[in-house]
Amino acid sequence: MAFLRTHSFLVCLPLKAGVWVLALVAAMCGGGGAAGSWLEVSMLKSHPIPVQDQVSLVFQAVVFSILVILSVFGLLCTLTKSLTAALIYSRLLVIHLIFTVLSLAFTMYSTFRPQDKDVVTACIDGSRDEFPIEFCQKGWSTVTVLPLALFTAVLFNQFYAIVIARSYVENLDITLASRFSRSLSPDFVKNDPALNNLAYGPRIV
């Protein structure tokens, strides 16, 4: 993804706006995913599932939660206009994308792998509520589709966010370099007494 660059967000908007919008979308997706995942984690005592599924569920909740924190950091980067902060944010997005892909893979395996009926029956534990029943059963259901849909949205959003964030870093770098080069121009030095004395020596009247 290092070779992907763009000069604008959605063709006409500035890169800074793109970083802000994509971070906000990621925060909402991550918040929804984290809330749902931790809710399912809280059900494990009354509706136990196999250990590997529990690990996958906790990992999913952690990944969504970290996404929220990372997104808030991205929003702050657009306010501070710090090159260092923007660079760190762009790199953290890449790292988090890797964990997102891993979590999606674990979640898909946990959702669709075969499971004994006895395990499902023990998980449901006589409950007649639709939510725990769908939580305990494998295959397609509202409970299983929502995290997969959120993961898909996060992947597309995060991939574009990486492109925008890296382009934003490059844009900030060019802007700062341009300002620095202008600050060293002869006209600027002559107009600044301190720099003028440093460059040409103090004037003797």
Asked if residue 199 has pLDDT above 50, the reply is no
Residue 35 domain-assigned (yes or no): yes
Residue 2 domain-assigned (yes or no): no
Q: What is the CA radius of gyration of the chain?
A: 25
Residue 106 domain-assigned (yes or no): yes
Average pLDDT, the chain: 85
Q: Based on the structure, what is the number of domains in the chain?
A: 1
Q: Residue 134 sits in which domain range?
A: 15-176
Residue 8 domain-assigned (yes or no): no
Asked if residue 1 has pLDDT above 50, the reply is no
At what angle are helices 83-112 and 51-80 packed, to 10 degrees?
160
Phi and psi at 97, nearest 5°, equal -60, -40
pLDDT 10s digits, 22-80: 999 999 999 999 999 999 999 988 888 889 999 999 999 999 999 999 999 999 998 98
Residue 167 domain-assigned (yes or no): yes
19 CB-near residues (< 8 Å, 6+ apart): 9, 74, 77, 78, 86, 89, 161, 164, 165, 168
Structure tokens at 14: 């500035």
Residue 146 domain-assigned (yes or no): yes
